Amino acid sequence: MIEPIDEEQPVTETQQKRRPVNDAARERLRDAQKAEANALRLVGAAEKVRERAQRALEKAEHSLAQAQAGLVKVSGADRAALLLDEPVGALRTRLRQVGASTRRVE
Protein backbone atom coordinates (compact mmCIF):
# COMPACT_ATOMS: atom_id res chain seq x y z
CA MET A 1 0.00 0.00 0.00
CA ILE A 2 1.32 3.46 -0.82
CA GLU A 3 1.89 5.65 2.22
CA PRO A 4 0.04 8.96 2.45
CA ILE A 5 2.13 11.92 1.40
CA ASP A 6 3.43 14.07 4.25
CA GLU A 7 3.52 17.63 2.91
CA GLU A 8 6.18 18.67 5.46
CA GLN A 9 8.79 16.20 4.21
CA PRO A 10 10.63 16.89 0.97
CA VAL A 11 9.46 14.77 -1.94
CA THR A 12 12.13 12.62 -3.53
CA GLU A 13 12.46 12.30 -7.27
CA THR A 14 11.19 8.71 -7.13
CA GLN A 15 8.16 9.74 -5.09
CA GLN A 16 7.50 12.57 -7.50
CA LYS A 17 7.45 10.12 -10.41
CA ARG A 18 5.08 7.77 -8.57
CA ARG A 19 2.66 10.46 -7.38
CA PRO A 20 -0.63 10.51 -9.34
CA VAL A 21 -0.75 13.61 -11.51
CA ASN A 22 -4.47 14.31 -11.52
CA ASP A 23 -7.63 13.74 -9.51
CA ALA A 24 -8.79 10.84 -11.67
CA ALA A 25 -5.47 9.06 -11.19
CA ARG A 26 -5.62 9.67 -7.44
CA GLU A 27 -9.15 8.27 -7.34
CA ARG A 28 -8.05 5.16 -9.26
CA LEU A 29 -5.18 4.73 -6.82
CA ARG A 30 -7.51 5.04 -3.82
CA ASP A 31 -9.91 2.53 -5.39
CA ALA A 32 -7.04 0.13 -6.03
CA GLN A 33 -5.82 0.52 -2.44
CA LYS A 34 -9.34 -0.16 -1.11
CA ALA A 35 -9.62 -3.26 -3.30
CA GLU A 36 -6.21 -4.43 -2.11
CA ALA A 37 -7.12 -3.90 1.55
CA ASN A 38 -10.38 -5.78 1.03
CA ALA A 39 -8.56 -8.66 -0.67
CA LEU A 40 -6.13 -8.84 2.26
CA ARG A 41 -9.05 -9.00 4.70
CA LEU A 42 -10.52 -11.87 2.69
CA VAL A 43 -7.19 -13.71 2.75
CA GLY A 44 -7.02 -13.28 6.53
CA ALA A 45 -10.57 -14.58 6.93
CA ALA A 46 -9.82 -17.58 4.71
CA GLU A 47 -6.71 -18.36 6.76
CA LYS A 48 -8.83 -18.39 9.93
CA VAL A 49 -11.31 -20.78 8.30
CA ARG A 50 -8.44 -23.04 7.25
CA GLU A 51 -6.98 -22.98 10.78
CA ARG A 52 -10.36 -23.97 12.27
CA ALA A 53 -10.69 -26.78 9.74
CA GLN A 54 -7.15 -27.95 10.52
CA ARG A 55 -7.94 -28.06 14.25
CA ALA A 56 -11.13 -30.03 13.53
CA LEU A 57 -9.17 -32.45 11.34
CA GLU A 58 -6.55 -32.93 14.05
CA LYS A 59 -9.31 -33.63 16.57
CA ALA A 60 -10.89 -36.16 14.20
CA GLU A 61 -7.50 -37.81 13.60
CA HIS A 62 -6.98 -38.13 17.34
CA SER A 63 -10.47 -39.59 17.78
CA LEU A 64 -9.80 -42.10 14.98
CA ALA A 65 -6.48 -43.08 16.54
CA GLN A 66 -8.15 -43.61 19.92
CA ALA A 67 -10.80 -45.82 18.31
CA GLN A 68 -8.11 -47.78 16.49
CA ALA A 69 -6.18 -48.13 19.73
CA GLY A 70 -9.32 -49.54 21.32
CA LEU A 71 -9.56 -52.09 18.52
CA VAL A 72 -5.90 -53.02 19.00
CA LYS A 73 -6.50 -53.50 22.74
CA VAL A 74 -9.42 -55.82 22.06
CA SER A 75 -8.16 -57.71 19.01
CA GLY A 76 -4.40 -57.26 19.03
CA ALA A 77 -2.34 -55.36 16.50
CA ASP A 78 -2.21 -58.11 13.86
CA ARG A 79 -5.96 -58.72 13.83
CA ALA A 80 -6.74 -54.97 14.00
CA ALA A 81 -4.47 -54.33 11.03
CA LEU A 82 -6.24 -57.11 9.10
CA LEU A 83 -9.67 -55.68 9.97
CA LEU A 84 -8.56 -52.16 9.04
CA ASP A 85 -6.85 -53.40 5.87
CA GLU A 86 -3.53 -51.75 6.59
CA PRO A 87 -0.02 -52.88 7.47
CA VAL A 88 0.62 -53.65 11.15
CA GLY A 89 3.70 -51.41 11.18
CA ALA A 90 1.79 -48.44 9.80
CA LEU A 91 -0.95 -48.91 12.40
CA ARG A 92 1.53 -49.17 15.27
CA THR A 93 3.49 -46.15 14.02
CA ARG A 94 0.38 -43.96 13.77
CA LEU A 95 -0.82 -45.01 17.22
CA ARG A 96 2.62 -44.33 18.69
CA GLN A 97 2.63 -40.87 17.08
CA VAL A 98 -0.59 -39.91 18.85
CA GLY A 99 0.43 -41.60 22.09
CA ALA A 100 -2.27 -44.27 22.02
CA SER A 101 -1.55 -47.50 23.84
CA THR A 102 -1.46 -50.69 21.77
CA ARG A 103 -1.36 -53.20 24.63
CA ARG A 104 -3.94 -55.93 24.22
CA VAL A 105 -6.55 -56.54 26.89
CA GLU A 106 -6.75 -60.25 27.76
Q: Which helix (H) or strand (E) holds 11?
A: none
pLDDT at 75: 94
pLDDT in tens, 39-58: 999 999 999 999 999 999 99
- State residue 85 phi and psi, 5-degree precision: 55, 50
| Domain range summary for the chain, segments of one domain joined by + | 23-97
Range 17-51 burial, b when 16+ CB lie within 10 A, else e: eeeeeeeeeeeeeeeeeeeeeeeeeeeeeeeeeee
The CA-atom distances, in angstroms, between 95 and each of 15, 32, 60, 98 are 60, 51, 14, 5
pLDDT at 13: 66
pLDDT at 33: 96
Q: What is the mean pLDDT of residues 2-21?
A: 64
Distance CA 68, CA 95 (A): 8
Q: Say whether pLDDT at 93 is over 70.
A: yes
